[in-house]
Structure 1
Amino acid sequence: MLSYIIRRVIMAIPILIGISILTFSVMHLAPGSPSSMMMSPDISPEVREAFEERYGLNDPIPVQYVKWMGAMLQGDMGYSLVRVGMPVSEMIMNRLPNTLILMGASTILAILISIPLGIVSARRQYSLTDYSVTVAAFVGVATPNFWIGLLLIMFFSVNLGWMPSGGIATLNEPFSILDRLHHLLMPALVLATADMAGLTRYSRSSMLEVIQQDYMRTARAKGFKENTVIYKHGLRNGLIPIITIFGLMLPSFFAGSVVVERIFSWPGIGDLLIGSVFQRDYPVIMGITMISAVLVVVGNLLADIAYAIFDPRIEY
């Protein structure tokens, strides 16, 4: 197992380098620059050139990338071009816990809702319940997160006033876990929607295959209760493919959190990323991109390790 983990970490290095090159190139090919976003059009060309000279923005793109990568390898993500003097690492670390909380909550919601629904749908194949779950899953996959978020805000926040429309906590109020959960519920539910729908479909398909296996019929023949047969003998084997698929869904959690955080004004790295893109704050964009890439690689590695834990037949 240890040698497998080491090989995966080594394999991740060229992947991360490729992601950094692609992101850096696309970012600099986009129209606009930090100087044009930060300075008035009336600023003299000399002042603009001095600003770009100070931060190396007038260097060729390959030179800028080499300088940035050299600093990154030393653990230095640089400084924000917009918030002058603010280290990028500090900006990201201030926001990262909020994003991880949102993703963790949405993951828990997706698992707690989708897997039981998939099992119920498989046990009642071709019934009204099965068709209802299938239709709901397809609707969830096809519906954009931002549209669901706006509908929830309009209904529960604007019309009913039951839920806060955004933010992480109530302003000028002391810290309260219930208040944080109150603000967390809607964005976590919206972020979980698309993946919850996909996991429900995969759970149903996986359990349908398991239910037809010989060892399941043997367990029933021995007189075990149906719930014992399903949840003790079948569920563990049915979860094996779901673990792999869940690992592949981790990038969609990151992508979805960018939109959801912006809609609900959730102060995470997704909200910081969109603001930095509008302001052409290159160091912040690259720092967030690399942190997200590393987290996705680590998440997929953990999914592979969990795969081996749930399936003793797997050896690395």
Structure 2
Amino acid sequence: MLKFILKKLAMMIPMLLVISLIVFVGLRSTGIDPITFMVPPEVQSQSPEIVDQLREELGLNDPLIVQYVRWLGDILHGDLGLTNKGESVADIIATRLPYTLELSAYAMLFSAVIGIGIGIISAIRQNGIVDYIGRVLAVLGQAVPQFLVGIVLIWIFSIKLGIFPAANRVSPDATNAFVDAFMHLFLPVLTLTIGMVAVLMRYARNTMLDVLNSDYIKTARSKGIPEWKVYMKHGFRNAMKPVLVILMYRIPALIGGSVVIESVFSYPGIGTTMANAVTSMDYNLVLVITLIIAAVMLICSFMVDVFNALLDPRVRLGE
């Protein structure tokens, strides 16, 4: 098992390098000069020598591969660099990333409880009212884009009803920080939860139905085991193994999806930071955030592989 884990960890390193190289070259190949966002237009027109000197100091005249190796070396030494405005990228990430993780964690928790719960009930009470409603909601949740769900929720709960705020994470004049944070988090968390619930609901239902139709469930019933024990001990436990794998795979989708949702709700997380960095062509900030998202995706994939290896020895034996 240790050999399997070390092998998977070793594979993550070249994958991160390839991803970083592709993004680095892709950004540099856009033809947009980051100097235009760093130096005021009047300085560019009146003092071109200052622009040339700054470009030379930043190493923008060097070949792409030299720029990439220099940037990668700084990253490996813990230096994330500066933004176009001269702000520390490390400080920005340290401030904004916890907000996105908080948003994603709440969405994952609520979607897991609601989606798996409704999916299991739908399978146990197949063709019942809960099953029909759940299937309709699952289709709608997957068909409607998340940004549109967010806009509709803002229109209903913020503009029409005035219950929840539509932007930011906290109010500057808040008297109760916990309640205020809850009010600001509710709509973006609900938006992310709706889409994820739809996926988990359908998958949990189908998996539970497959388990309930298996031979060992029929054997358990024939032995006179109470129905609730058949569902919980034999059905639920076995049905949750593949569902948990899907849940782990959805974590990167939550982090990546936050780019759109945070922009809709003006939530000051890593997603909004990423969108603003792309707009201003802040190469360094975009690269670091992309590397973080890629690392999260690879870590989640690694966790899924380890989880599958623990459940099935054939996986770690390469069969």
- The two structures share one fold, judged by TM-score above 0.5: yes
Matched, 1:283 2:290: no
Q: 2:52 aligns with which of 45, 49, 52?
A: 49
Identify which of 73, 76, 90 aligns with 2:76. Answer: 73
Task: Among all aligned residue pairs of Structure 1 and Structure 2, give the percentage whose two residues are the same amino acid.
Answer: 37
CA contact (8 A) 1:261 1:271 kept: yes
Give SS of 1:57's match: coil
Q: Distance in 1 between matches of 2:38 and 2:21?
A: 25
Partner of 2:202: 201
Contact 2:123 2:209 (C-alpha < 8 Å) held by counterparts: yes
Which consecutive residues of structure 1, in runs of 5 or more, have no partner in the other structure?
Answer: none
Query: Equivalent residue for 1:294?
Result: 295
Could you tell me which residue of structure 2 aligns to residue 139 of structure 1?
A: 140
Residue identity in the other structure for 1:121: S
Residue number in structure 1 paired with 2:8: 8
What letter corresponds to residue 36 of structure 1 in structure 2? T
CA distance in 2, matches of 1:50, 1:22: 28
State the Cα deviation string for residues 59-83 of structure 1 (Å, max 9, x = none): 222221111111112222111122x
Which position in structure 1 is the counterpart of 2:230? 229
Structure 1 contact 38–279 (Cα < 8 Å) conserved: no
Aligned length: 313
Q: Which position in structure 2 is the counterpart of 1:188?
A: 189
Report the more deviating stretch, 163-172 or 223-232: 223-232
Structure 2 residue matching 1:23: 3-state secondary structure: helix
- Rounded to whole Å, the distance in 2 between the matches of 1:297 and 1:204 is 28
Distance 2:180 2:234 in 1: 40
- RMSD of aligned residue pairs (Cα, Å): 2.0
Q: Distance in 2 between matches of 1:186 and 1:228?
A: 37
Partner of 2:172: 171
Counterpart in the other structure of 1:266: 267
**CA deviation string 1:148-198 (max 9, x = no partner):** 101111110111011111211121224522221221121111112222211
Shift of 1:293: 1.5
Task: Measure the CA separation in 2 of the matches of 1:286 and 1:104.
Answer: 24
Determine if contact 2:277/2:285 at 8 Å carries over to the other structure.
Answer: yes
Q: If the length of structure 2 is used for normalisation, what is the TM-score?
A: 0.91
Q: Deviations over 1:229-255 (max 9, x none)?
A: 112211111011112222322321122
Match of 1:251 in 2: 252
Match of 2:239 in 1: 238
Q: CA deviation at 1:314?
A: 6.7
Mapped to 2, the partners of 1:182 and 1:231 lie a distance apart of: 35
Write the letter of the residue equivalent to 2:9: V
Structure 2 letter corresponding to 1:260: I
- What is the TM-score normalised by the length of structure 1? 0.92
Tell me if structure 2 keeps the 8 A contact 1:243–1:306: no
The amino acid that maps onto 1:13 is I
CA distance in 1, matches of 2:241, 2:287: 35
Cα distance in 2 for partners of 1:296, 1:163 equals 32
Contact 2:151 2:264 in 1 (8 A): yes
Q: Take 1:231 and 1:166, find their aligned partners in 2: how far apart are those partners?
A: 42
Please tell me whether the aligned partners of residues 89 and 287 of structure 1 are also in contact (alpha carbons under 8 angstroms). Answer: no
CA distance in 1, matches of 2:305, 2:105: 19
Pairing 1:62–2:59 present: no
Q: 1:215 to 1:98 in 2, by over 3 A?
A: same
Contact map agreement 1:105 1:188 (CA 8 A) in 2: yes
Say if 2:19 is the partner of 1:19: yes
Partner in structure 2 of residue 32 of structure 1 = 32
More divergent stretch after superposition (29-38 vs 103-112): 29-38
Aligned counterparts of 1:193 and 1:255: Cα–Cα separation in 2: 16
Alignment deviations for residues 265-305 of structure 1 (CA, whole Å, 9 cap, x no partner): 21111111111111111111111111121122222223334
Q: Distance in 2 between matches of 1:176 and 1:219?
A: 52
Where do 5+ consecutive residues of structure 2 fail to align?
none
1:95-151 CA distances to partner (integer Å, 9 max, x unpaired)? 111111011001001101110111122123334432332221111111111111011
What letter is aligned with 1:93?
A
Deviation at 1:259, TM superposition (A): 0.8
Compared CA separation, residues 259 and 225, structure 1 to 2 (3 A): same
Cα–Cα, structure 1 residues 23 and 2, in superposed 2: closer, same or farther, change >3 Å? same
Measure the CA separation in 2 of the matches of 1:21 and 1:143: 34
